Amino acid sequence: MNILLFMSSGLDTPGPSWHLYTALIEDLVSYGHKVHLIESHSTGINPDCPERLKGLENFSYETINIETVAKKAFAKRYLVGVKYCFKARKVFKAQQNFDVMMVQSCPWAPFAITFAKSYVKTPVIYNSQDMFPGASIANGAMKQKWMQKIFYMFQKVAYRRADHISVISEDMKQKVIEQGVPAAKITVIPDWYDDKSVREIPWEDNLFVKKYDLKKDCFYVQFAGTMGMNFDYKMVLRVAEKLKQEKKIVFQMIGQGSQKDDFVHAAQEKKLDNIVFLPLEPQEMVPHVYSACSACLIPLPRGVIGNSVPSKAGLLMACHRVIVTSADEGSDYNDMFKREQIGMAFDCDDSDGVAKGILKLRDEPEYCSRLADNAQKYGKAVYTRTVNTKLYEDLYRRIGGKA
């Protein structure tokens, strides 16, 4: 098959899509397909084409220069995204003889999909990694009702014009159905971890442990990732305050994000010295970081699940770690942890439950180990690169008429 991928950003910019699209391209080429990538160039932090993709037979790419805009400047960022789509029209016109095209989710998807359908003239799959504007509404970034209404209308244009929609969770599928899309037009394919490289790192070999001289008799409750609007740092504060007398429980907060400064300031004001802030580690250190924690805390604001999904869940399962999460009670995401016995899930407001759950994991190591065993097995079945890139290939064949 000839497959065309259109990214809403570029591989030059670090982000959760970097490893997903890089792995997807590698595997599609290894399956014998031709892949052409259209991406933006903005930050230049990474190369436009990673070393692992260079020289791959049947892979090609081209870039479109766009302006770098801060995430908080939503209006300007949106306009830059729309301008990117208009620039892409000329590139689209040159892309013929493809069997299927996939457009990565973005706020300006109505423009991207409309131009793709007009110029490439091939079936288009809309790959929704998070829901817009739902995610922005849920995390409080978009409070104006009039703006919400306009962008919901815009997004329905993208859903209607796309030939098919791929989402990354059952909760997200339900959200799309609620916006009038028939279930038959939606396929669920979870994001994955790279089972070729991600594994549990023993304590004695762990570079993160050595770097920070971690103590084996401490119970490390870790969050590693983006401390942005989809991260409920207030839950961490409440739980850490409840457990501040437990001197061997350390809350390890690793990373950056738009809410980090407020988080650090609040922790200092409350004198919570059981919260330790550390910088984000390079991508190759991820297995070492996750393998160094005793349990991982993923605190989500209400409404985020269904509009987005934490990408780190599969990685943690691969590293044989138990997840403690707070999210919407009754969501498929929360039910998954209980149903499969792979972690502990509580409602967004249940800081007492989260605190008690952490104590239970610390005080009952056999129970903690059993959950970790279950999580590792479940992760291999549901969240691996091997399983899910193949699901994308199957989807491309089906929508591109090559099944």
Which uninterrupted H or E stretch holds 37?
strand 34-41
pLDDT of residue 75: 84
Predicted confidence (pLDDT) at residue 165 exceeds the cutoff of 90 = yes
Q: What is the pLDDT of residues 199-240, one digit of tens each?
A: 999 999 999 999 999 999 999 999 999 898 889 999 999 999
pLDDT tens-digit series, residues 265-281? 999 999 999 999 999 89
Instruction: Please give the structure tokens belonging to residue 288.
Output: 């070492």
Q: Are residues 134 and 220 in the same domain?
A: no
Residues of the domain holding 229: 203-382
Model pLDDT, residue 265: 97
Return the pLDDT at 370.
97
Residue 136: both structure tokens together? 């922005």
Q: Are both 348 and 366 inside the same structural domain?
A: yes
Residues 165 and 218 in one domain: no
Q: Do 134 and 102 lie in a common domain?
A: yes
The predicted pLDDT at position 182 comes to 97
pTM of the model: 0.89
Residues 21, 388: contact at Cβ < 8 Å?
Answer: no
- Give the pLDDT confidence score for residue 282 in this predicted structure: 87
Total tally of structural domains belonging to the chain: 2
User: 358 is written with which tokens?
Assistant: 């952490």
Cα–Cα distance between 21 and 31 in angstroms, integer? 15
pLDDT digits (tens, 9 = 90+) for 46-63: 999 999 999 899 999 999
Percentage of the chain exceeding pLDDT 90: 79
In CATH, what number is assigned to the domain containing residue 368?
3.40.50.2000
- Mean pLDDT score, 142-151: 87
347 Cβ contact list (under 8 Å, min separation 6): 326, 327, 328, 329, 334, 353
* 119 and 227 part of one domain: no
pLDDT at 69: 82
Write down the pLDDT at residue 317: 96
- Check whether residue 187 and residue 210 sit in a common domain: no
CA distance 400 to 403: 8
- For the stretch 309-361, pLDDT in tens is 888 899 999 999 999 999 999 999 999 999 999 999 999 999 999 999 999 99
Regarding whether 111 and 11 lie in a shared domain, the answer is yes
Note whether 305 and 367 are same-domain residues. Answer: yes
Based on the fold, state whether residues 271 and 389 are members of the same structural domain: no
Let me know whether 122 and 78 are in one domain: yes
Q: Are residues 126 and 78 in the same domain?
A: yes
Report the alpha-carbon distance of residue 29 to residue 56 in Å, rounded: 8
pLDDT in the model for residue 403: 58
Q: Give the strand pairing for 186-188 and 219-224.
A: unpaired
Distance of CA 29 to the CA centre of its chain: 23
Q: Are 249 and 215 in contact (CB under 8 A)?
A: no
Residue 197 domain-assigned (yes or no): no
